[in-house]
Chain A
Amino acid sequence: MTPSRNRGFVPATLRARVTAVAALAVLAVLTVAGTGLVLGQRAALLDAVDEHLDQQAEAVASELEAGRPVRGGDLPSEDLVVEVVAADGTLLAASEGLDERLPRGVASDGEITVELDDGEPVRLLERDVEGTTVLVANRLDDLTDSTAALAGTLVVAVPLTGAVLAGVVWLAVGRALRPVEDIRARVDSISGSSLHQRVPEPDTPSEIGRLARTMNGMLGRLERSAEQQRRFVADASHELRSPLARMRAELEVDAAHPASADPAATAASVLAETVGVQRLVDDLLLLARGDAGAPAALHREPVDLDDVVGTVAGSLRRAGERRIDTRDVHPVQVSADRPQLERLVGNLLDNAVRHARDRIVVTLAPARDGSAELTVADDGPGVPPAERDRVFERFTRLDDARSAGSGGAGLGLAIARDIAERHGGTLTLEPTDSAGARFVFRLPVAREGDRGISRSGPG
C-alpha cells in the first residue's frame, strides 16, 4: 500500500483530493450565484413596489391639487394603503382597514422600509401637497414570501448539485487513474532479474498512456544496458580466468614435481601473465569509469598531438618495431588529456603492429574543417565492411581463432573510441583503396587562447 501522507485535512489520495477540490469549487460558485440571485430578485421586486407607491402618491396629490376632497372610501385598501393628513396632524382620510397611523416625517426623501406596530414590514413614501401630507405604504409580506421560497429552493438544490458532481468526479477520476495503480503494481514487481516485463499500456492517447509508453521505453533501455553489463562481466571473467588457469597449472605442476621444475622460467611466465592481468583490469576500470560517465577524469590542457605520436612511436621503435612511418606527421595542437591521448594513440599503434605485414603509415595534419586528423593505416588483412563497427565493441576479436598471446583482450579499440568520444572527437575505421585497415581519429583543435596564458603570480 502507498504510505499515507495525510497531513491535517488534506486528503491522501489524488482521487479524493480532486473530488474534494471540484466539489468545493462548485459549491462556492453556486453559493455565490444563488445569493446573488436572491438579492437581485428582492431588489427588482422592491423597485416595482416603489414605482407603485410613487404612482399612487401622484394620483392622490393630483386630486388634492385639483381641489377635490379625498375620501377614505375612494382610497385603495388591502396591500397598498394611503393616509392623508392635514398640516396640524388631523387625519383627513385613510384607506379602509388601516387601523393605525403611519409614521410621519421619516420617508419624505424617498421610499424606505419601516415596521408597523404589529411587526409587519411595509414600504413607505411621504409626499407634501400644499401643506397636506400624503403617506402611501405597501405591505412587504408577499415579497418576503417569494424571496424566501427562492432561497429555500436554492438551499436544497446547491448542496445536491455539489454532491452529484462529487460523485461523478469520484467515479471518473477513479476510472481514469485505475491504469496508474496497475502500472504502479507492475513496476513494484519488476526486479533486476525480470526487466523483460513491461507495464500495461492503456489504449487511450492520454497522459497516462504516454507515461506508460515512456516507462516501457525506459524499461527497454534498462534491459538492454543490463544485458550489455551482463555480457561484459561474463567476457571480463572469461578473460581473467584464462591467465589465472595458466598460472595455476604451472605453479601446481611445479609444486607437485619439484624435481622437474624450473623456478626461474615459472617466475618469468607468471610475471608476464600477471602484467597481462593487471593491464586487463586497468582497461576494465577505465571502461567502467567511462560508463559511469565520469568526465571529471578529463584534465584538458594544450597538447602537441604530433609529440604524442612521436613519443608512442619512439617507444615502439626502441622496442624493436621498425615498420612505423611517421614522416607525414605535422604539428597540431589540441586541447586534451595527455595521458589519455597517449593511450588512444598507443592502442591504435598496438593494433596496427599486431596486424601489419610490413608497413604502418601514420599521418597527422589539420583537416579542412579545422579539426586535427590522425590516421593510422596498416597493410594487414584489413576489416570486412560489415565488421567495421564491430571492431570497436568490447572483447571483439575478428579472428576468433587467434589466441590471447598475439593480441590484447579486444578492449584496445573500444577504449580508444571511448577516449575519442570523451574528448568530443570521433574514431572510425575508413575504407581504403589498398588492403589493410585505416583508422581515422578526428578531434577539434585547441582554440588560440585556450589556457594559453593564465594570469597568476609565480610560485
Chain B
Amino acid sequence: MKLLVVEDDAKIAGALRRGLTAEGFSVEVAEDGVEGLWRAREGSYDLIVLDVMLPGRNGYRVCADLRRAGDPTPILMLTAKDGDLDEAEGLDTGADDYLRKPFSFPVLVARVHALLRRAALGEPPPLAVGDLTLDLRGRRVHRSGTEIALTAREFDLLVYLVRRAGSVVSKQRILAGVWDDEFEGDPNVVEVYVARLRRKLDEPFGRRSIETVRGAGYRVPPP
C-alpha cells in the first residue's frame, strides 16, 4: 500500500513517515501543495494524507483539483483550524474524511485503514424496502423521493429492522443489537423509538412498514 503525505511541517511529516512505514505502508512525502498535486497526478497512490495549510497551493485547492481531474484516490484531510466550517469545506471539495490537528496517531492509522477498506469495497448499495431507501454512508432516508430526517439511533434501529426484513425481531435483540452493549436504561425505550419511526416514516405517507407481532417483537414485511 502506497501513501502520499502532503505536509509542510517537517517534524509532523517525518513522524508520519516513520509511523506509517512502521505500520507497513510505503510512504512518500511532498512538502508543499504544488509538489503534492504534481506527485498525486504522476504517481499512483492508494491514499493521500493532505494538510490544509500548505505553502504554494492549499489543501482544499489540491483536493478540488484532483477531484476535478477525476482522480478517485481517497483523501484524508488534516485541518489545523478548529471550526465546523473548515471541516464542511474539506468534505465539500471532495475529501473523504478529515482529522483535526493535533491528532492522535493511532486514530490517524485507524482512519487510514477505514478509508482503504471503504475504497476496496466500493460504495455500499443503498438498502431498500418498497419505496423506502436507506443510504448507509450518507445516513439518509428517503420515502418516494422525500427525505426524512432521523436521529442517529432512529436510523440505526431502522437499518437493523430493514436488514432483517421478513423476520420477527424481539425487543431484547433490538436492545442488544442497536443500543450500546453497556445500555442499562429503560427497556421500553424500543417501543418509544418504534413509535417515533412510525410517526416519521409511515403516518405522513399512509403506510405501515413496521408491524408489531404481539408478544414477540417487531417485523418489517419483506420487500
The answer to whether A binds B is yes
Question: Cα distance A231–B83 when bound, in Å?
Answer: 26
CB 8 Å contact bits of B132-168 with A (1 = contact, 0 = none): 0101000010100111111111100000000000000
Task: Tell me whether A58 is interfacial, beta carbon within 8 Å.
Answer: no
Nearest Cβ on chain A to B129's Cβ, whole angstroms: 15
The answer to whether A314 and B181 touch (CB under 8 A), given A304-B152, A453-B149, A455-B146, is yes
Among A324, A327, A338, A457, point to the contact of B186 (Cβ < 8 A): A327
Chain A: interface residue total (CB-CB under 8 A):
39
Which residues of chain A in 317-369 are interfacial with respect to chain B, using CB atoms and an 8 Å cutoff? 317-318, 324-331, 333, 338
Closest to B133 in A: A458
Nearest Cβ on chain A to B179's Cβ, whole angstroms: 6
Closest to B101 in A: A278
Task: Tell me whether B82 is interfacial, beta carbon within 8 Å.
Answer: yes
The answer to whether A329 and B147 touch (CB under 8 A), given A310-B179, A458-B142, is no
Question: Cα distance A302–B85 when bound, in Å?
Answer: 20
| Interface-central residue, A313, A331, A454, by most chain B CB under 10 Å | A331
The answer to whether A282 and B82 touch (CB under 8 A), given A325-B184, A457-B145, is yes
Q: Which of B40-48, B115-123, B189-197 is found at the contact surface with chain A?
A: B189-197
Task: Tell me whether B223 is interfacial, beta carbon within 8 Å.
Answer: no
Residues of B within 8 A of A326 (CB): 184-185
How many cross-chain pairs have Cβ atoms below 8 Å apart between A and B? Answer: 89
Nearest Cβ on chain B to A375's Cβ, whole angstroms: 14
The answer to whether A304 and B151 touch (CB under 8 A), given A297-B84, A458-B133, is yes
Task: Tell me whether B208 is interfacial, beta carbon within 8 Å.
Answer: no
The answer to whether A314 and B182 touch (CB under 8 A), given A304-B151, A304-B152, A453-B204, is yes
| Contact in complex: A307, B83 (CB < 8 Å) | no
Which residues of chain B in 175-189 are interfacial with respect to chain A, using CB atoms and an 8 Å cutoff? 179-186, 189
| Contact in complex: B82, A285 (CB < 8 Å) | yes
Residues of A within 8 A of B183 (CB): 310, 314
Closest to B149 in A: A451
| Contact in complex: A452, B149 (CB < 8 Å) | yes
Residues of A within 8 A of B146 (CB): 453, 455-456
| Contact in complex: A299, B84 (CB < 8 Å) | yes
Residues of B within 8 A of A303 (CB): 151-152
Nearest Cβ on chain A to B176's Cβ, whole angstroms: 13
Nearest Cβ on chain A to B70's Cβ, whole angstroms: 19
Residues of A within 8 A of B193 (CB): 304, 331
| Contact in complex: A297, B83 (CB < 8 Å) | yes
| Contact in complex: B185, A310 (CB < 8 Å) | yes
Residues of B within 8 A of A304 (CB): 151-154, 193
| Contact in complex: A307, B142 (CB < 8 Å) | no
Nearest Cβ on chain A to B13's Cβ, whole angstroms: 19
| Contact in complex: B180, A310 (CB < 8 Å) | yes
Question: Cα distance A428–B85 when bound, in Å?
Answer: 31
Task: Tell me whether A306 is interfacial, beta carbon within 8 Å.
Answer: yes
Task: Tell me whether B102 is interfacial, beta carbon within 8 Å.
Answer: yes
Question: Cα distance A451–B154 when bound, in Å?
Answer: 14
Nearest Cβ on chain B to A428's Cβ, whole angstroms: 24
17 A–B contacts, CB within 8 A, in A order: A301-B149, A301-B151, A304-B153, A304-B154, A307-B153, A310-B179, A310-B182, A325-B184, A327-B185, A327-B186, A328-B186, A452-B148, A453-B149, A453-B200, A453-B204, A454-B149, A457-B145
* Interface, chain A (partner B; CB < 8 A): 275, 278, 282, 285, 296-297, 299, 301-304, 306-307, 309-311, 313-314, 317-318, 324-331, 333, 338, 451-459
